[in-house]
Amino acid sequence: MSQQASRPSAATTPLSKGLLLMMALSAGMTVANLYYNQPLLADIGRTFGVGPDAVGFISTFTQIGYALGMFLFVPLGDIKERKGLITILLALVCVSLIGVATAQNLPWIYAASFAVGITTIVPQILVPLAATLAAPGEQGKAVGTVMSGLLLGILLTRTVSGLIGGTWGWRLMYALAAAAMLALLVLLRIKLPSNRPTTELRYGQLLGSMGSLIKRYATLRESALIGGANFAAFSIFWTALSFYLEGEPYRYSSQIAGLFGLVGAAGALGAPIVGRMADRLRTEWIIGVLLLLNLLSYLLFGLWGGYLWALIAGVILLDLGVQGTQVANMARIYALEPPARSRLNTVQMVTTFLGGAIGSSLGSFAWRHWGWRGVCLAGGATVLFGVIVWALRRLRREGIGAQARPTNP
């Protein structure tokens, strides 16, 4: 295991309500860059004359880039001053978004989307920063608040993107996103407090130490696998939804399809509540209940997806289940080793978004070959995998406990 030295931490600004809300807003605005494409995939496909399989790789490249960016850059939050790191990343993502807006062919937009993903990692620096600045006993609430901003950003992005991109074109949507990142860069540079880390490691040691964290903490391994499975299910649904809504029985435009983000936002609003519960209750049982909500959502999609009421109910349950589970998972892994929060966050979120990248490809593939039923089966199977991971950990623990208890004569 890598040796790490500690140094006194610099004084930090207390996490006021205003600062916390600004961080939540910033997380939502930044993570939106990953999801502008989803309600516009059909429109982008028509621009370049390609079908769902080819255009679906835009989402896949974005998610893969995000996972790689988290692996390479988010751990730096444990050894570098975070405000300066955030400034550099926002400048880079601004350039990447301009690259998407000006794309002239499919390889170009693939490369630009990958660049957007690899540089859109500011939310994953803000979340552990919120936990670090929060008062003792309020880390779950702080994480839940920033995550709610992040999750609302994911969902409301689809509405904004569908309305703006569907009305004036997808290129304008990306140009506006680049301008928003430039404005956010200026705001955060002025408002964020300086926050020096307490860990002294070289970069190579920093990356290598993540393997030690995975080996050391079973909770981290379980949380990461559940996060990957959940986000695969989430991406399968949202990648295929715009194609499904364009056809029978709905015949909706991309503008109307984007409004489903507002429906999902109702579920995401439960994230701060889950965060507060995680400060007081056993998070493992909260996670178990939320996983069951995910299963129920895919039952609604598969059995009654042709009815609008079932689609709306399923969207609310899926978003509450996926986002609530993520908040509960992050609250429990941040408690494992506070000086390593950025690295713990990296392990969790890299696995989560690799699951999302797989889900994006699987969603478009399942739609192309098997239609909506195939999408529902693929999404339900990934949720079931997460349930199995959760249940096996509980069963293994019960088995070990039973062996340790003395038997009555």
List Cβ neighbours of 398 (8 Å cut-off, separation of 6 or more).
Answer: none
Mean pLDDT over 71-85 rounds to: 84
pLDDT class of 270 with cuts at 50, 70, 90: low
**Domain extents in the chain:** 15-401
Residues making up the chain, counted from first to last: 409
Instruction: Show the DSSP H helices in 249-340 as ranges.
Output: 254-258, 260-268, 271-278, 283-304, 308-334
List Cβ neighbours of 12 (8 Å cut-off, separation of 6 or more).
Answer: 132, 133, 193, 194, 195
Per the model's pLDDT, the better-predicted residue between 201 and 308 turns out to be 308
pLDDT class of 400 with cuts at 50, 70, 90: low
* Residue 178 pLDDT exceeds 90: yes
Q: What angle do CA 381, 220, 12 make, to 5 degrees?
A: 130
**Shortest CA distance to 344 belongs to which of 203, 244, 223?**
223
Q: What angle do CA 245, 248, 250 make, to 5 degrees?
A: 50
User: Quick one: pLDDT at residue 272?
Assistant: 65
- Distance from the Cα of residue 119 to its chain's centroid: 14
User: Quick one: pLDDT at residue 230?
Assistant: 94
User: Quick one: pLDDT at residue 11?
Assistant: 41
pTM: 0.74
Residues forming beta bridges with residue 6, ordered by sequence position: 199
CA–CA dist 311, 313 (Å, integer): 6
* Residue 405 pLDDT exceeds 70: no
- Distance from the Cα of residue 346 to its chain's centroid: 12
Per the model's pLDDT, the better-predicted residue between 61 and 156 turns out to be 61
Torsion angle, alpha carbons of 78, 83, 89, 93, to 10: 140
> pLDDT averaged over the chain?
84
Pick the CATH number of 15-401 from 1.10.606.20, 2.40.160.210, 3.20.20.120, 1.20.1250.20: 1.20.1250.20
Mean pLDDT over 361-374 rounds to: 91
User: Quick one: pLDDT at residue 26?
Assistant: 94
CA–CA dist 53, 308 (Å, integer): 26
**Shortest CA distance to 125 belongs to which of 350, 356, 341?**
341
Q: Is the peptide bond before 249 cis (omega within 30 degrees of 0)?
A: yes
Summarised one tens digit per residue, pLDDT across range 346-357 is 899 889 878 988
Cβ proximity of 147 and 271 under 8 Å:
yes
CA–CA dist 334, 345 (Å, integer): 8
Cβ proximity of 124 and 115 under 8 Å:
no
Instruction: Give helix then strand counts, H and E, for the chain.
Output: 16, 2
Tokens read off for 122: 């500011």
Cβ proximity of 102 and 55 under 8 Å:
no
User: Quick one: pLDDT at residue 248?
Assistant: 83
